[in-house]
Amino acid sequence: MDRVINLDNAAATPLHPDVKKRMIDYLETTYANPSSQHSLGDLAAEALDIAREQVAALVGAEPREIVFGSGGTESINHAIKGVAFAKRDKGKHIITSNIEHNAVLRTLRALRLMDWRVTSLDVDEYGLVDPQAVAEAITDETVLITVMHANNEIGTVEPIAEIGAVARERKIVFHTDAVASAGLVPLDVKAMNVDLLSLAANQFYGPSGAGALYVKRGTALWPLLDGGVQEQNKRAGTQNMLGIVGLGVAAEIARAEMDKRAEHTRGLKGRMAAGLKKGIEHLIFNGHPEKCLPHLLSVSVGFIEGESMMIMLDEDGVAVTTRSACAAGALQASHVLLGIGLDFADAQGTLVFTFSPENTEADVDYVVEKLPPIVERLREMSPLYKK
Amino acid sequence: MDRVINLDNAAATPLHPDVKKRMIDYLETTYANPSSQHSLGDLAAEALDIAREQVAALVGAEPREIVFGSGGTESINHAIKGVAFAKRDKGKHIITSNIEHNAVLRTLRALRLMDWRVTSLDVDEYGLVDPQAVAEAITDETVLITVMHANNEIGTVEPIAEIGAVARERKIVFHTDAVASAGLVPLDVKAMNVDLLSLAANQFYGPSGAGALYVKRGTALWPLLDGGVQEQNKRAGTQNMLGIVGLGVAAEIARAEMDKRAEHTRGLKGRMAAGLKKGIEHLIFNGHPEKCLPHLLSVSVGFIEGESMMIMLDEDGVAVTTRSACAAGALQASHVLLGIGLDFADAQGTLVFTFSPENTEADVDYVVEKLPPIVERLREMSPLYKK
């Protein structure tokens, strides 16, 4: 494992050493159920309270507005289905964008099959949603607007505060999927005018299987998981204590180290872009050049397939992806890349690098050295390519 | 912590030492996403395969029939809502029993609000569901039968194979909530004639936050969590790898040690029942005397409140509960105890002991010594009690 250069940190960030330490400590000392009313339960309940404060602080929320769950996908499903079901008598229209994560898209697809109607908005060449288009899509039946904070494939950061202002003015519940950005860039639920925000620990050096949904006080929302009285009756089920403890610590560290991390990864991203540009012809860099995540670089390499590059880089000890891990195995071209106007061939030739604080300039230089000959070999075999 | 005698193992079993060891080992060495297509992902994918085989073996299923999730509540919600939504055009009638866990009851309550109809069957004084009553409740609209395998408050084990035979004959999907019993007593999904079975790791010395749903091949089921292609498109979201690894090891150990554990806890249960009977008057032992979980003892103590006993035992260093931890804080009398015919007062005076392999005869003897004077003191203060 030591020799793999991980440039696919969005799939799974390694645990921060302090997160790991706290999780092992919790594993070794505590096992109780935070809902138990005897003293054994108190220890777990305290750990839960601390984590809730840590996560709330990360997004500018009150601790009681944080609902823990099993990850980004659960929080997104909870937000969308929870509002849809709670408001089903008011109306069945939802507004979203064309470049959302599958957790949003497929949740909406399921609702469509149950008679909800969905307006999915076009984005511009950078992947930006136009707040004015959101305003124009609103009808009397609209009960929810869901637009991601930052795109997980191209890194573009959406004008959430502006969309939120539209939603607030029209009194429509607004959810943002911030899974790709929470813990990586500053978030403030009040400034963003959101009612619901989804996040996941495994995007900021916490564990997989733990996430949270911010629920603004007073938001009508059905549980996704019905049952016990956990999480203030908003999410039933005995909590994944170990994951939540890790999520809390990861949130606290992310808040403290955010600027430093962003500066470091932004430097690597720039170095990679410059290096690749120098060594490879016919590149397209995807996403907005400024309104973007600091640690994500998406590049489409003309005339060849991303998967072939990925496999050959893997043989050279570099982990990188062609798209989100959640979509791996789904053999279609990325709807995000098609959504920003790439043609099918360029979309298929895309690599996504996500950098972590553990990556170094040497990692970047290694890829800048290894990738051009790989591209050259693949292009030699490509029927599409002519020098 | 050392001095607390935990007799509330159903709320949170301590991790088996080997489970803890494997989880710490995983935490320290692996972090990747099993969906990633590069080598880093392979390590996680292998760990996932192993856990899937271990859990499948626990219930007599094929590995591909196991869908991992965040615990018992999620699996139950997935099973019930998943079938209801998938079959909504066929019919909207569901059959259940009066003594199900809140994860079943409240899921059905939510569906009721969306126009499903539910028939909830009475149970006898032991908590047994009558398979004939299930057969009689079936209509042309019935799409699902959901009856728990063993009750989590009184320990009664239901005639699942017989109910399953009815369901199979009438071609109706059958789910059993086996959260209270999986890992504790032998289960075989084929012999039980079930299509869906829910289980959770934290009932058999595995971690909280990890569970599984057995889905018989060919069962029509919508995802509860829509999104990525994980778990063969049945449950989206990056898996809680640490929890699943723990669940797998816990399942393997449970299978190997089941008989020994059951014998040990059955001995403690008998010793506790005999000891309490000797020291305290006006006791009712709840649940079926033979068709029952080996490790669970429910006893109603006349004229006083369970909560007061719980608090006083807690002061003496004994953790015990009045009902399931999931319902703690819900201030109603137990629907299970009312369902088997207890009056309100007796229901409120109930303690549930759940024993683990770590408990000893000395633990039991300590409670048998401490509880009678507690009961006496509380009865002296009780307006209901006259010697």
Active site residues of A: 326
| Residue B331: predicted pLDDT | 59
Q: Higher model confidence: residue B223 or residue A10?
A: B223
| Residue B385: predicted pLDDT | 83
| Residues facing B96 on adjacent strands | B120
Q: What is the pLDDT along chain B (387 residues), one digit of tens a residue?
A: 356 899 998 887 789 999 999 999 999 887 777 877 777 788 889 999 999 999 999 999 999 999 999 999 999 999 999 999 999 999 999 999 999 999 999 999 999 999 999 999 999 999 999 999 999 999 999 999 999 999 999 999 999 999 999 999 999 999 999 999 999 999 999 999 999 999 999 999 999 999 999 999 999 999 999 999 899 999 999 999 999 999 999 999 999 999 999 999 999 999 999 999 999 999 999 999 999 999 999 999 999 999 999 999 999 999 999 875 555 555 578 999 999 999 998 999 999 999 999 999 999 999 999 999 999 999 999 887 876
| Residue A195: predicted pLDDT | 98
The answer to whether B1 contacts A223, with C-beta atoms less than 8 Å apart, is no
| Residue B54: predicted pLDDT | 98
Contacts of A88 in chain B (CB under 8 A): 114
> Exposed, middle or buried: residue B246 (CB in 10 Å: 0-12, 13-18, 19+)?
buried
| Candidates B86, B225, B262, B326; catalytic one | B326
Q: Identity (one letter) of the amino acid at B8?
A: D
B240: nearest CA in chain A? Answer: A209
Cα B168 to Cα A308, B80, B86, B191: the distances in Å are 48, 17, 18, 12
Q: What is the mean pLDDT of chain A?
A: 94
Name the band, by pLDDT with cuts 50, 70 and 90, for residue A295: very high
Pick among B242, B305, B313, B351 to test the A interface (most A CBs inside 10 A): B242
Nearest to B40 among A6, A30, A109 (CB): A6
| Residue B64: predicted pLDDT | 97
For A139-167, letters b (16+ CB in 10 Å) and e give eeebbbbbbbbbbbbbbbbbbbebbbbbb
* φ/ψ of residue B327, rounded to 5: -100, -5
Name the E strands within A130-230. 142-146, 173-177, 196-200, 211-215
The answer to whether B37 contacts A102, with C-beta atoms less than 8 Å apart, is no
| Residue B254: predicted pLDDT | 98
Nearest to B38 among A28, A77, A310 (CB): A310
Question: Taking residues A106-117, what's their average pLDDT?
Answer: 97
Name the E strands within chain B. 5-6, 66-69, 93-97, 117-121, 142-146, 173-177, 196-200, 211-215, 283-286, 296-301, 318-319, 350-354
Contacts of A69 in chain B (CB under 8 A): 70
Q: Is B326 a catalytic residue?
A: yes
| Residue A155: predicted pLDDT | 98
Q: What percent of chain A has pLDDT over 90?
A: 86
| Residue B1: predicted pLDDT | 38
Going along chain A from its start, the domains and CATH numbers come out as 5-12+258-381 (3.90.1150.10), 17-253 (3.40.640.10)
pLDDT at residue A29 above 90? no
Token pair for residue A228? 């016990």
Nearest to A208 among B13, B239, B328 (CB): B239
pLDDT at residue A330 above 60? no
Nearest to B208 among A76, A238, A314 (CB): A238
SS3 A334: coil
Asked if residue B300 lies in contact with residue B277, where contact means CB atoms within 8 angstroms, the answer is no
Whole-angstrom Cα Rg for chain A = 21
Name the E strands within A84-133. 93-97, 117-121
Token pair for residue A375? 């591209």
Distance from the A57 Cα atom to the nearest Cα atom in chain B, whole angstroms: 24
B205-237 pLDDT, tens per residue? 999 999 999 999 999 999 999 999 899 999 999
Rounded to whole angstroms, the Cα distance separating B52 from A149 reads 35
ipTM summary value:
0.93
Rounded to whole angstroms, the Cα distance separating A43 from A262 reads 35
| Residue A327: predicted pLDDT | 55
Contacts of B74 in chain A (CB under 8 A): 70, 225, 237
Rounded to whole angstroms, the Cα distance separating A257 from B72 reads 36
Distance from the B387 Cα atom to the nearest Cα atom in chain A, whole angstroms: 30
Token pair for residue A198? 């989804």
| Residue A315: predicted pLDDT | 94
The answer to whether A109 contacts B223, with C-beta atoms less than 8 Å apart, is no
Q: Identity (one letter) of the amino acid at B12?
A: A
The answer to whether A20 contacts B27, with C-beta atoms less than 8 Å apart, is yes
The answer to whether A74 contacts B28, with C-beta atoms less than 8 Å apart, is no
Give the position of tokens 């707040």.
A131
| Residue A331: predicted pLDDT | 59
DSSP B167: H
> Exposed, middle or buried: residue A1 (CB in 10 Å: 0-12, 13-18, 19+)?
exposed
In residues, how long is chain B? 387
Beta carbons within 10 angstroms of residue A332's beta carbon: 11
| Residue A189: predicted pLDDT | 98
SS3 B332: coil
Question: Taking residues A135-162, what's their average pLDDT?
Answer: 98
Distance from the B315 Cα atom to the nearest Cα atom in chain A, whole angstroms: 9
- Which residues have C-beta within 8 Å of that of residue B382, sequence separation ≥ 6? B303, B304
Pick among B33, B112, B331 to test the A interface (most A CBs inside 10 A): B33
Whose CA is closest to A54, among A307, A252, A295? Answer: A252
A228-247 pLDDT, tens per residue? 989 999 999 999 999 999 99
Question: Taking residues A122-149, what's their average pLDDT?
Answer: 98
| Residues facing A318 on adjacent strands | A5
Distance from the A44 Cα atom to the nearest Cα atom in chain B, whole angstroms: 10
A306: nearest CA in chain B? Answer: B37
pLDDT at residue A333 above 80? yes
Nearest to B35 among A76, A307, A328 (CB): A328
Question: Taking residues A273-301, what's their average pLDDT?
Answer: 97
Rounded to whole angstroms, the Cα distance separating B95 from B126 reads 20
| Residue A328: predicted pLDDT | 54
Name the band, by pLDDT with cuts 50, 70 and 90, for residue A174: very high
The answer to whether B110 contacts A223, with C-beta atoms less than 8 Å apart, is yes
| Residue A363: predicted pLDDT | 97
DSSP A65: G
- Which residues have C-beta within 8 Å of that of residue A332, sequence separation ≥ 6? none
A43: nearest CA in chain B? Answer: B1
A187-223 pLDDT, tens per residue? 999 999 999 999 999 999 999 999 999 999 999 999 9
Distance from the B26 Cα atom to the nearest Cα atom in chain A, whole angstroms: 11
pTM to 2 decimals?
A: 0.95
| Residue A1: predicted pLDDT | 38
A244-257 pLDDT, tens per residue? 999 999 999 999 99
